[in-house]
Structure 1
Amino acid sequence: MRRIHDFHGGIHPAENKLQSLATGIRPAGIPSQLILPLAQHIGAPSQPLVSPGDRVLKGQLIASAAGHVSVPLHAPSSGQILAIEDRPVPHPSGYSAPCVVIECDGRDEWVEEPSGIRNYRACEPSALLEKIRSAGIAGMGGAGFPTAVKLAGKPGAGITTLIINGTECEPYITADDILMQERAADILAGVDIMRHILKPQEILFGIEDNKPAAIAALKTAAAGSDVEIITFPTKYPSGGEKQLIEILTGKQVPSGGLPADIGVICQNVGTAVAVRNAVIYGRPLISRITTVTGDAVTAPGNFEVLLGTPMAHLLALAGFSAEKCERLIMGGPMMGFTVSGAEVPVVKTTNCVLAPTTREMPTPPPAQPCIRCGLCAQACPASLLPQQLFWFAQGKEFDKLEQHNLFDCIECGACSWVCPSHIPLVQYYRAAKADIVKQRRDHEKSEQARLRFEARQERIAREEAEREAKRAARKQAAEKRAELAAEGGDEDPVQAAIERARARKTAQQGTAPANTPDGGVKQLAALREKLAKTEQRLALSREAGEDNKIVTALEATVQRLRDRISAAEQSPAERETP
């Protein structure tokens, strides 16, 4: 038997999971509209490849990945692109972001027959990673990190342990539980593909002991394989990546580090199914299992829903009573957040839509001053000091926040849950993290601007030095020529260069210099020809009785040409006589 370890802290909130497990997975159908945010994962948003008015088919690529940490986006059903515009998206701030809006036609026509790789064991891992990336798969159990990037790992970092996370410790949520019950074989098929890519020494499947039906299904599906199905006592937040690693292996991920630093990679069960569908059947990620629950719905359950489906469509299927609902939450009561309204869409990370009543989740009372009881530190699964972090967050002491490892906080909400003063600690931590990230970006921008300015100043100084060197060289050459001239030395090299340039230009024009015999003859012939033409025009002007000014000008031109011809007819010796 493998030894099960424990992690620091943790709590035991009411589970409230049975409500949504009364039925199996139900299809959510096709809504009238699909709203697909271009940013549904950590990293750069995808870039749209379609325009309003275009008709798209199910599975068609409609937005491409915009970088290494990014994934493409596909049409979940057939229809027409209605708009590409800002729409409300599921986010703690309630802001709007660019979305592709599809008006569904109800036909659900595929762009083409999906083609997969049945014999994936004969493929190189790089080919499978590209297949996973092109399918648009991002982690479906947490923040949505692109799966292909995570599976590729760090160069030179060997992976010894692959952990499949079936914990689903958050209250109310049962999407992974029902998936493990009904599609355990599909999960194990996806795990086998990841095994071929990573080649780990062991595969551990972690699941809490409050899911007996899922445990039984997984053990049946894993029979005969080397995948270890490991159960452990229920405690929140055992589904956190670092906490699960510590439970199953006893290893701790270093502060600020990644699981890959200690040879471990974690993947969610929903991600495993998406990998299986992409590789074996060639299907992109266009749907997921989502729990709809809470006392404000009369028929809670789990739905297989197309990405981009408005939450209002899901809530209607579950018998939603808006007048009973306190607020809509995406996720669970501990780590979820309130959404701006039922019009926001389901995205790749939407594992739950929670519709509680006021009695079920009353408005928290006003926060009271901290009494320094220390319960938050006892409950923190990351072994942090929430009380000190709270003070530093209030005082905007960002350096001290980072010194106290603020970014190791997984925002599980355990500290807020046990706080007798009802202080919303996690909200302070989230705001402080956002401020620090913004400060880092501003610092990077100013540093880049400083480097550009210094490079420009260096370039200007270098160019000025080069110009000064050229001026000094010219001055030195001029002084040397003056010395030579004073001493009666050689011919001025600059003047000689000018004469050589003139000679070359004359040669290129097909004429010899005038001071040569050939040059003089040609010049004399040209002057005589021009004189004959001018005399002819003068005679015609006189006969026509033209203006005296024209006749006088022509006469002057004839005289000048005659003078030039007379001068040209002299011998070179005569021209040189003083």
Structure 2
Amino acid sequence: MNLKTFLRGIHLREEKELAEKSAIRRVLPEGEMVYPLSQHIGAPAKPVVAPGDRVLMGQQIAEPDGMISAGICSSVSGTVKKIEPRMTVMGETRDAIVIENDGQYTPAEGFGAKRDYKSLSPDEIRTIIRDAGIVGMGGAGFPTAVKLTPKNPESIDTVIINGAECEPYLTSDHRLMLERPDELIEGLRVMLRLFPKAKGVIGIENNKPDAIKLLSEKLSGDPQISVQPLKTKYPQGGERMLIHAVTGRDIHSKMLPADAGCIVQNVATAIAVYQAVCCSTPLITRVMTVSGDGVNTPCNLEVYVGVSHQKVLEAAGGLNCEPEKLISGGPMMGTALYTLDVPVQKTSASILAFAHDPVAANPSTPCIHCGRCVSVCPVHLVPQMMQVAADFDDFERFEKLHGMECIECGCCTAACPAHRTLTQSFKYGKASVNRLRREAKAAAAKD
């Protein structure tokens, strides 16, 4: 097997055996559904419904508000109760549309209608994807229609499907590749129609041999799409790392994948594209992994966007203890949850519950200058020096050390024998630099 990879990175305990054999199970929600207007990169969506309105499943309830934005469709039928600020998985309060689910799941007109994508123009395909509210479902949440509209479509020669799923515990993309391979392949074909010179590559880490085998068999002899096995290493699923592994090309933070002739999409996103374009079904559900030693029955659930994390956890049999740590997303790049009373968003890949918090169990001690953080950094930075600059608010030096290039993967933190909270410092440093830039821009505009 010809395995490709990137330089550096780290080998982690995978812990995928907890849920990787669990077939996807759909869970119908009950009661109140909450749809934050900002669950993607860019401008928040603009409501097109008002309190008291009756809505149908698949109906658009908020439209994109600007070039980089994404609409939102109701995942249930029911009545709009209110539009008010609600807490999100990021711990922020954002305006949200609250709908009382009537339990009928009455579809909007045209919902589920079959369509031949080959009869559609590239612009029509992009419009359908935009109206369906599709965003990157691997975590970032960048509007998919925007990503599929690069400045020079003719320069795109490779469309990559990210099947690495390199975060520990997460298995939802693995299950999607096994259970919905045809939808994945057709979703990729839809996207390839937008880039006539491009070929498709599905990159899969070699800890998923069943997915590699299944998709390779289905694509045997296909002149346009191939499967590329990847070495199991974190963060193989990072956009820069994946592009380097598949094409050998390097990109930095000021470049877009399109600048290197590539478009990268997540497995779930590609399937969502198929469902929207070929089946007239907007993005209203997603598959989540519910795992960790604090969960009674680790599993993979297809849940409706807008349902609470509490309901999802209950569908997995609930907790077997009082967890010290709850995480939305993966353990390396996810977000700690202090409450389960927050809605599932389009980007919600998982809920992890841990009986013990490894960070709290290993308090930070002084740096011993061993250099392990440098040896594992996939973007070739010097984390120990960057942390000193960030912690002492020396943001000029932080920038000179290329701190803004950090992808916040957490490799340095995981490798550090002194348990330094390096990634946390870099998030602070990057946020501070961006704040100072905004302030300088605002001051210049006043002059």
Which range, TM-score by smaller chain? over 0.9
Q: How many residues align?
A: 446
- 1:365-395 CA distance string (max 9 Å, x none): 3211112111000011111111111111112
1:122 aligns with 2:119: yes
Partner of residue 168, structure 2: 171
Q: Secondary structure at the match of 1:435?
A: helix
C-alpha displacement at 1:311, in angstroms? 0.5
Partner of residue 522, structure 1: none
**For the residues of structure 2 that align with 1:110 and 1:127, how far apart are their CA atoms?**
23
Letter in 2 for 1:310: S
Letter in 2 for 1:316: E
Q: Secondary structure at the match of 2:360?
A: coil
Which among 98, 103, 120 is matched to residue 100 of structure 2? 103
C-alpha displacement at 1:4, in angstroms? 4.8
**Contact in 2 for aligned 1:58/1:76 (Cα 8 Å):** yes
C-alpha displacement at 1:23, in angstroms? 2.2
**For the residues of structure 2 that align with 1:210 and 1:4, how far apart are their CA atoms?**
11
**For the residues of structure 2 that align with 1:40 and 1:126, how far apart are their CA atoms?**
24
C-alpha displacement at 1:340, in angstroms? 2.5
**For the residues of structure 1 that align with 2:320 and 2:92, how far apart are their CA atoms?**
22
Partner of residue 159, structure 2: 162
**Contact in 1 for aligned 2:291/2:298 (Cα 8 Å):** yes
1:363 aligns with 2:385: no
Q: How does 1:450-469 map to 2 (within 5 A)?
A: 450=447
**For the residues of structure 2 that align with 1:200 and 1:423, how far apart are their CA atoms?**
46
C-alpha displacement at 1:218, in angstroms? 1.3
Partner of residue 325, structure 1: 323
**For the residues of structure 2 that align with 1:111 and 1:6, how far apart are their CA atoms?**
45
The two structures have a TM-score, normalised by structure 2, of 0.96
Partner of residue 197, structure 1: 194
- 1:40-88 CA distance string (max 9 Å, x none): 1100110112222222111111111111000111110011112211111
Partner of residue 565, structure 1: none
C-alpha displacement at 1:421, in angstroms? 1.3
Partner of residue 372, structure 2: 375
- Alignment CA distance shift 1:200-1:402 (3 Å): farther
**For the residues of structure 2 that align with 1:312 and 1:246, how far apart are their CA atoms?**
39
**For the residues of structure 2 that align with 1:156 and 1:351, how far apart are their CA atoms?**
30
Which among 303, 306, 310 is matched to residue 305 of structure 1? 303
**Contact in 1 for aligned 2:33/2:306 (Cα 8 Å):** yes
**For the residues of structure 1 that align with 2:139 and 2:341, how far apart are their CA atoms?**
22
- 1:513-566 CA distance string (max 9 Å, x none): xxxxxxxxxxxxxxxxxxxxxxxxxxxxxxxxxxxxxxxxxxxxxxxxxxxxxx
Letter in 2 for 1:82: K
**More helix per residue:** 1
Q: Secondary structure at the match of 2:148?
A: helix
Decide which structure has the larger Cα Rg and report it.
1
Q: How does 1:426-575 map to 2 (within 5 A)?
A: 426-450=423-447
- Alignment CA distance shift 1:244-1:156 (3 Å): closer
**For the residues of structure 1 that align with 2:116 and 2:34, how far apart are their CA atoms?**
35
1:250 aligns with 2:248: yes
C-alpha displacement at 1:322, in angstroms? 6.5
- Alignment CA distance shift 1:366-1:38 (3 Å): same
**More strand per residue:** 2
C-alpha displacement at 1:155, in angstroms? 3.9
**Contact in 1 for aligned 2:376/2:412 (Cα 8 Å):** yes
**For the residues of structure 2 that align with 1:354 and 1:200, how far apart are their CA atoms?**
41
1:76 aligns with 2:75: yes
- 1:256-292 CA distance string (max 9 Å, x none): 2111111111111111100001111111111100000
Letter in 1 for 2:146: V
**For the residues of structure 2 that align with 1:176 and 1:313, how far apart are their CA atoms?**
21
Letter in 2 for 1:193: V
Q: Secondary structure at the match of 1:198?
A: coil
**For the residues of structure 1 that align with 2:293 and 2:56, how far apart are their CA atoms?**
37
**For the residues of structure 2 that align with 1:262 and 1:280, how far apart are their CA atoms?**
29
**For the residues of structure 2 that align with 1:431 and 1:127, how far apart are their CA atoms?**
41
Partner of residue 413, structure 1: 410
- Structure 1 portions without partners, runs of 5+: 451-578
Letter in 2 for 1:137: I
- 1:116-139 CA distance string (max 9 Å, x none): 573322322111111111110000
Structure of higher RCO (CA pairs closer than 8 Å, 6+ residues apart): 2
C-alpha displacement at 1:106, in angstroms? 0.3
Identity of matched residues, %: 41
- 1:486-525 CA distance string (max 9 Å, x none): xxxxxxxxxxxxxxxxxxxxxxxxxxxxxxxxxxxxxxxx
The two structures have a TM-score, normalised by structure 1, of 0.75
**For the residues of structure 2 that align with 1:200 and 1:376, how far apart are their CA atoms?**
40
Q: Secondary structure at the match of 2:251?
A: coil
**Contact in 1 for aligned 2:156/2:262 (Cα 8 Å):** yes
**Contact in 2 for aligned 1:116/1:279 (Cα 8 Å):** no
Q: Secondary structure at the match of 1:428?
A: helix
Letter in 2 for 1:44: A
